[in-house]
C-alpha cells in the first residue's frame, strides 16, 4: 500500500510539473501565421503517395502515364516517379518547374492524378512545395538504379547549422564513387524542413556512402538538433529516369 501511494504521488507530481509550463504556454496569444515566401526561380514539389499494396501495380501504371505526360507539359524541366524498395504501396514523385507560374498552370492535372488514384489511396497525397538549397546537374549520360529521399526535420533554432551541414554533405556525396546526383531542397513554408534527393549507380555504391566518415559525421552533428526521426526512404524509378536538375 505504501509503495502504491508513493507511486501515485510521484505520477501526480510529474503530471503537475509537465502540465504547469504547458498551461502557462497555452495562455500566451498564438503567433500570427506567416505567409510562405514568394518562390523565384525553379519550383520543386516532392509528393509522397501511399496506396493499398494490392493496388501497387495499377498505381505504377497510372504514374508511368502521368510521368510521360508531365514531362511534355509547358515549363516542366523534370519529373521522376519512384516506388519505395520493399514497400510496394509507397510511391513518391519529384518534379521541377521553371517557375511557380508553370507549376500553378499544371494544378488541374495534379488534381486529376489524385482523383484517379483515389480508389487506391490509404492516405491523401502529401505534396511538399520546395525551393533549391543545393542543386547540381547530373553528369551527362549517367544512369541510376537507386534513388533516396530523406526528409530532414530540425528544431527551428538549429536551422542555420543544419543548412550548413546539408550543404557540406551534398558536396561530399557528389564526390563519392557511384553517385549520380545529390541534391538538397528546402520546404517553401518551413525552412527547417529539408529534403535530400540522391541517385546512385547501384546498391553497393549507396551502402558505401551510408557508412562513409563524412556521412557519419553529418548524422552525429545533425542529431542534437533533430525535430523528428531521420526519415530515409530508398526507391527505384517508375517510368524512366529523367531526374530533376
| pLDDT on residue 36 | 56
Q: What is the CATH number of the domain that holds 175?
A: 3.30.70.100
Tens digit of each residue's pLDDT (9 = 90 or more) over 21-47:
333 343 445 444 445 567 889 999 999
**222 domain residue, yes or no:** yes
Phi and psi of 162, rounded to 5°?
-65, -40
Tens digit of each residue's pLDDT (9 = 90 or more) over 195-236:
999 999 999 999 999 999 999 999 999 999 999 999 999 999
- What residue numbers bound the domain in which 47 lies? 43-238
**142 domain residue, yes or no:** yes
**195 domain residue, yes or no:** yes
Instruction: Tell me 175's DSSP state.
Output: T
**35 domain residue, yes or no:** no
Helix/strand/coil (H, E, C) string of 106-156? CHHHHHHHHHHHCCCECCCCEEEEEEEEECCCCCCCCCCCEEEEEEEEECH
Tens digit of each residue's pLDDT (9 = 90 or more) over 81-119:
999 998 999 999 999 999 999 999 999 999 999 999 999
The band of 120, judged by pLDDT with boundaries at 50, 70 and 90, is very high
Q: Which three cell numbers stand for residue 232?
A: 530515409
Residue 30 exposure: Cα atoms within 13 Å on the Cβ side: 3
| pLDDT on residue 241 | 54
pTM: 0.82
Residue 63 has pLDDT above 90, yes or no: yes
Whether the Cβ atoms of residue 14 and residue 6 lie closer than 8 Å to each other: no
| pLDDT on residue 137 | 84
Number of domains within the chain:
1
Give the sign of the dihedral formed by CA 82, CA 225, CA 205, CA 195.
Answer: positive
**194 domain residue, yes or no:** yes
**179 domain residue, yes or no:** yes
From CA 227, how far away is CA 23, in angstroms rounded? 22
**5 domain residue, yes or no:** no
How many angstroms separate the Cα of 19 from the Cα of each of 8, 22, 30?
16, 5, 18
| pLDDT on residue 38 | 72
**17 domain residue, yes or no:** no
Element (H, E) at 238: strand 231-238
| pLDDT on residue 33 | 44
Measured in residues, the chain has a length of 245
From CA 120, how far away is CA 165, in angstroms rounded? 38
Give the sign of the dihedral formed by CA 201, CA 202, CA 205, CA 210.
Answer: positive
| pLDDT on residue 31 | 45
3-state SS, residue 44:
strand
Amino acid at each position: 500500500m505504501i509503495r502504491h501511494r508513493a507511486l501515485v504521488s510521484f505520477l501526480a507530481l510529474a503530471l503537475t510539473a509537465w502540465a504547469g509550463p504547458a498551461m502557462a504556454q497555452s495562455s500566451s496569444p498564438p503567433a500570427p501565421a506567416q505567409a510562405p515566401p514568394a518562390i523565384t526561380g525553379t519550383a520543386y514539389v516532392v509528393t509522397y503517395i501511399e496506396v493499398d499494396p494490392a493496388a501497387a501495380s495499377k498505381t505504377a501504371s497510372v504514374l508511368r502515364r502521368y510521368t510521360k505526360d508531365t514531362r511534355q507539359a509547358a515549363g516542366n524541366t523534370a519529373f521522376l516517379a519512384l516506388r519505395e524498395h520493399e514497400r510496394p504501396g509507397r510511391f513518391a514523385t519529384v518534379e521541377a518547374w521553371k517557375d511557380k507560374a508553370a507549376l500553378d498552370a499544371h494544378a488541374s492535372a495534379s488534381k486529376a492524378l489524385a482523383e484517379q488514384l483515389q480508389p487506391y489511396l490509404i492516405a491523401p497525397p502529401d505534396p511538399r512545395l520546395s525551393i533549391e538549397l543545393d542543386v547540381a546537374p547530373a553528369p551527362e549520360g549517367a544512369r541510376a538504379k537507386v534513388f533516396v529521399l530523406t526528409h530532414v526535420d530540425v528544431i527551428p533554432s538549429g536551422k542555420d547549422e543544419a543548412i550548413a551541414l546539408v550543404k557540406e554533405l551534398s558536396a561530399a556525396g557528389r564526390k563519392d564513387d557511384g553517385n549520380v546526383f545529390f541534391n538538397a531542397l528546402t520546404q517553401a513554408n518551413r525552412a527547417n524542413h529539408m529534403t535530400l534527393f540522391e541517385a546512385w549507380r547501384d546498391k553497393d555504391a549507396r551502402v558505401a556512402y551510408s557508412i562513409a566518415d563524412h556521412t557519419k559525421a553529418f548524422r552525429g552533428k545533425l542529431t542534437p538538433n533533430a525535430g523528428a526521426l531521420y526519415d530515409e526512404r530508398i526507391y527505384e524509378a517508375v517510368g524512366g529516369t529523367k531526374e530533376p536538375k
